[in-house]
Chains A and B, each alone.
Chain A
Amino acid sequence: MSKFSLLMKQLYKSKIKSKSFVLMTALYILVLSVAVFWSDIKELLMGDDKVQQIAIINDTTADLSSLFVASGNMEFVQDETDVKVLEKQLKDEELTAIVTISDQQGQLHAEIATYTPLKLNDQTALSSVLQYAGQHYAVQQLSLTPEQAAQIMTAQTIISTKNLNEAATDGKSEEEKQSGLMLSYVVGILIYFFISTFLSMITTEIASEKGSRAMELLLVSVKPGTHFKAKIAGVLLLALTQMGIIAAVFLVYARFIKDGAVWKAAGEIVQELSIGYVIYAVLFLFLTILLYLIVGALFGSLVSKVEEGGQVLMPAMIITIIGFYVMLTGLGNPDTLLIKVFSYIPFTSGMVMPMRIGATDIGVIEPLLSLGVLVATIVVCYVFSLSFYKRSVLTYSTGGVIQKIKTVLKVTT
């Protein structure tokens, strides 16, 4: 076995059994399970909500009873009109609220009487039912035929888009953009978590070898460059393993749970977004992780012991957090200048660019350009790190990051 694969195997074997790796993987699977079984879990957690009984007293002449139909966890009582009886029921908590509807100059007026205030959810639900009733009432006052009334109430605008610029591809529909946005959010979160986990893993791995002075023993038999590459490859392999496990669990869920409903849903999303999007997302995911691993390895070689690892990791962590938050702003509006700028910065493009590809009308050039910038940065970082690593990995120094870099330059030139 070559020295490269020996080093890589040793790293892989020791890390895959480590508590942090096992726990993180378990956590991802847990989150995935919660997502897949969300509807069941929701039922379990929220299902025991008591059905709210709401009494309606209609003081108007119009017949609105058909509008108050049970929905969600709300039921309406319309046959009892004796206020005294109802108020007693309200006090006994058999009722949640009494709604008295009356006419005020052609408008519907509803008074909600409660003994204990309504919960926000119920308040909102009740309001919308009453709003709807108000519109109906207003329409009824116009003495239209039921058909005319129905037409007004069900009126909807049909929207279709047409792009007159023949050079551009057709713009995406709103649904496409919505699912693009959601999937990009998932991709962004994945990149963020993977980076945080594996960036600190590679930094502490190299820092601990340096701190325990095993480094010198290693570097006598292995060239620093080989060591550097083996560490990156080993951690990348770990990241792939973790993704593989998660993907496998997802596939099992998708195929066998709920008769493949998840599989179908995933297929629909992919179809809506095109295969191109998936390829881009995967490429950005891998390349971004690779970039951070290279930087992480370099950082690890700078510190003298594991305890100093956090100090050098800080700047990289802050950049990932910035990228993450920029992506979050994109959830509200993915077309801002902020998003455009960050979709080209190599350290954040992995999180931001997939969102632009999925959720905005973007040409072919932009993603390619961003990907190109990312690849170029990786190459430059790799070449630079490799040559710097040879010098920094056996230099022990104190002080801050800048001081450490200065020391390395001082003692190796």
Chain B
Amino acid sequence: MTLQLQHVTKKYKDFTAVDDLNFTIDRGEIFGLIGQNGAGKTTTFRMILDLQETTAGTITWDGQPVNAINRDVLGYLPEERGIFPTMKVEDQLYFFGELRGMKKAELKKEIDFWIQRFELEEKRKDKAETLSKGNQQKVQLIASFIHKPKFLILDEPFSGLDPVNKDLLKDAILLLKEQGTTILFSSHQMDNVEELCDHLCLLKRGVSLFSGSLLDLKKQYGKTRLAVRTEWSTTQLLALDGVKDVRVEKEQTVLLLEDERFAQTIFEQLSNGRYIEKFSLDYLSLDEIFKDKVGGQHVEV
């Protein structure tokens, strides 16, 4: 069971929202679609969900075009949060479940489980509009996968959630993955993507900059991020061989290297045979790669 996008393009009269996009998501995988606002993430989702037509290219699920499949295998959490304001939480979940072809009896088990898991037990009989924003989002999230879809799309699922709820959501996503659900999600918050995704696609103004495994992406850049704790000044550090950039953070200084092979000599120079409190060489964080790829400061998070 795979989702495959081949040469998918969406053109409007005066601009191209998505340009020749290609990627494949395998069964049971978590795939991240990352990009700035207006990069074409939501348009891509809408095309996968057959809410919008493609201008060119094909999208297939298990070899079948997406507009021919039974829509109940899909689940979708839209970026704009939306539920029926005057409907009770529980009724809402039953409604969306039944709409997806589930029986009331099966649904009861699922609803009880997820309501309990997302700590919504007390809000069960409340109207959705009386809930806090975070709770509304949890209700909508449950509604998006209450019918146990084979393929779930989450558009910015983490935005607006506090750290506790973020963890609840992460656990839920991992649980769904265990149950065999294929998940495609978008996020501005790279730490979430980094933690959850196996594969990802980086979009910039409709064009894919990278598509593949997270590790491959990191390997492209190599281990060039060096965090140290030292008394050396920024100027001194910049003068070192192979140092591209220096950034002073609260408890450490981060050096960006041209290549990981410079690390050895830098270590020798900084420690000078003595004890050194911190010297840590690692891959770039996804955040840093993202900024580098899409062009620095203009990233909206």
A residues near B, CB below 8 A?
1, 3, 6-7, 10, 14, 208-209, 212-222, 394, 410-413
B287 at the binding interface (Cβ < 8 Å): no
Which of B71, B81, B96 is A213 in contact with, Cβ under 8 Å? Answer: B81
Indicate whether A219 sits within 8 Å of B51 (C-beta atoms), given known contacts A1-B98, A410-B12, A410-B13. Answer: yes
Within 8 A of A (CB), among B47-102: 49, 51-52, 71-72, 74-76, 78, 80-87, 95-96, 98-100
**Residues in B whose Cβ lies below 8 Å from that of A214:** 82-84
Best-surrounded residue of A212, A410, A411, A412 (most CB of chain B within 10 A): A212
Which of A7, A212, A213, A413 is B99 in contact with, Cβ under 8 Å? Answer: A7
> Other CB < 8 Å A-B pairs besides A7-B99, A218-B99, 14 of them?
A6-B95, A214-B83, A214-B84, A216-B76, A217-B76, A219-B51, A220-B49, A220-B76, A221-B71, A221-B72, A221-B96, A394-B52, A411-B12, A412-B52
Indicate whether A220 sits within 8 Å of B80 (C-beta atoms), given known contacts A6-B99, A410-B12, A413-B13. Answer: no
Best-surrounded residue of A1, A214, A219 (most CB of chain B within 10 A): A214
**Residues in A whose Cβ lies below 8 Å from that of B95:** 6, 10
The chain A residue sitting closest to B12, CB to CB, is: A411
Can you sample 5 A-B contacts with CB below 8 Å? A6-B98, A216-B76, A217-B78, A221-B74, A222-B71
Best-surrounded residue of B99, B143, B144 (most CB of chain A within 10 A): B99
**Residues in B whose Cβ lies below 8 Å from that of A212:** 82-85
**Residues in B whose Cβ lies below 8 Å from that of A410:** 12-13
Which of A209, A213, A216, A411 is B51 in contact with, Cβ under 8 Å? Answer: A216
Top 5 A-B residue pairs of the complex, sorted by shortest distance between their CB atoms: A213-B82, A216-B78, A213-B80, A220-B76, A214-B82
The chain A residue sitting closest to B46, CB to CB, is: A394
A394 to B76, CA, bound (A): 15
Which of A10, A209, A217, A413 is B143 in contact with, Cβ under 8 Å? Answer: A217
The chain A residue sitting closest to B155, CB to CB, is: A216
Distance in angstroms from A144 CB to nearest chain B CB is 81
The chain B residue sitting closest to A215, CB to CB, is: B82
**Residues in A whose Cβ lies below 8 Å from that of B96:** 217, 221
B253 at the binding interface (Cβ < 8 Å): no
Distance in angstroms from A58 CB to nearest chain B CB is 76
**Residues in A whose Cβ lies below 8 Å from that of B187:** none
User: Do the beta carbons of B100 and A213 come within 8 Å of each other?
Assistant: no
**Residues in A whose Cβ lies below 8 Å from that of B75:** 220
Distance in angstroms from A169 CB to nearest chain B CB is 54
B140 at the binding interface (Cβ < 8 Å): yes
Tally of A-B residue pairs with Cβ under 8 A? 60
User: Do the beta carbons of B99 and A14 come within 8 Å of each other?
Assistant: no
Distance in angstroms from B76 CB to nearest chain A CB is 4
Interface range for B: 20 to 34
B residues near A, CB below 8 A?
12-13, 46, 49, 51-52, 71-72, 74-76, 78, 80-87, 95-96, 98-100, 140, 143-144
The chain A residue sitting closest to B81, CB to CB, is: A213
The chain B residue sitting closest to A223, CB to CB, is: B71
**Residues in A whose Cβ lies below 8 Å from that of B76:** 216-217, 220
User: Do the beta carbons of A216 and B82 come within 8 Å of each other?
Assistant: yes
User: Do the beta carbons of A220 and B51 come within 8 Å of each other?
Assistant: yes
User: Do the beta carbons of A221 and B99 come within 8 Å of each other?
Assistant: yes
User: Do the beta carbons of A14 and B71 come within 8 Å of each other?
Assistant: no
The chain A residue sitting closest to B95, CB to CB, is: A10
Distance in angstroms from A205 CB to nearest chain B CB is 11
A20 to B93, CA, bound (A): 26
**Residues in A whose Cβ lies below 8 Å from that of B13:** 410, 413
A273 to B187, CA, bound (A): 69
Distance in angstroms from B11 CB to nearest chain A CB is 10
Distance in angstroms from B102 CB to nearest chain A CB is 11
Distance in angstroms from B84 CB to nearest chain A CB is 5
**Residues in A whose Cβ lies below 8 Å from that of B49:** 220
The chain B residue sitting closest to A208, CB to CB, is: B85
A7 to B80, CA, bound (A): 21
A411 to B16, CA, bound (A): 11
A219 to B99, CA, bound (A): 11
**Residues in B whose Cβ lies below 8 Å from that of A221:** 71-72, 74, 96, 99-100
A217 to B81, CA, bound (A): 9
Distance in angstroms from A337 CB to nearest chain B CB is 46
**Residues in A whose Cβ lies below 8 Å from that of B143:** 217
User: Do the beta carbons of B98 and A213 come within 8 Å of each other?
Assistant: no
A19 to B202, CA, bound (A): 50
Indicate whether A216 sits within 8 Å of B80 (C-beta atoms), given known contacts A6-B99, A7-B99, A394-B51. Answer: yes
Which of B12, B74, B85, B140 is A220 in contact with, Cβ under 8 Å? Answer: B74
Best-surrounded residue of B46, B49, B85, B95 (most CB of chain A within 10 A): B95
Distance in angstroms from B185 CB to nearest chain A CB is 15
A410 to B15, CA, bound (A): 11
Indicate whether A217 sits within 8 Å of B51 (C-beta atoms), given known contacts A3-B99, A222-B99. Answer: no
**Residues in B whose Cβ lies below 8 Å from that of A14:** 86-87
A220 to B144, CA, bound (A): 10
The chain B residue sitting closest to A210, CB to CB, is: B82
Best-surrounded residue of B46, B72, B76, B84 (most CB of chain A within 10 A): B84
A3 to B147, CA, bound (A): 14
The chain B residue sitting closest to A395, CB to CB, is: B52
